Chain A
Amino acid sequence: DIQMTQSPASLSASLGETVTIECRASEDIYNGLAWYQQKPGKSPQLLIYNANSLHTGVPSRFSGSGSGTQYSLKINSLQSEDVASYFCQQYYDYPTWTFGGGTKLELK
Chain B
Amino acid sequence: EVQLVESGGGLVQPGRSLKLSCVASGFTFSNYGMNWIRQAPGKGLEWVAYISSGSSYIYYAETVKGRFTISRDNAKNTLYLQMTSLRSEDTALYYCARHPPSSYYFDYWGQGVMVTVSS
Contact = CB atoms under 8 A, between A and B. Distances in A.
Q: What is the size category of the interface that chain A forms with chain B?
A: 20 to 34
Tell which of B61, B104, B105, B106 has the most Cβ of chain A within 10 Å: B105
Instruction: Determine chain B's interface SS by DSSP, over half rule.
Output: loop
Contacts of A49: 100, 103, 105, 107
A44 B109 contact: yes
Contacts of A98: 47
Contacts, number: 53
B45 A87 contact: yes
Contacts of B89: none
Contacts of B106: 34, 36, 44, 46, 89
B27 interface: no
5 contacts: A36-B45, A55-B107, A87-B44, A95-B50, A102-B45
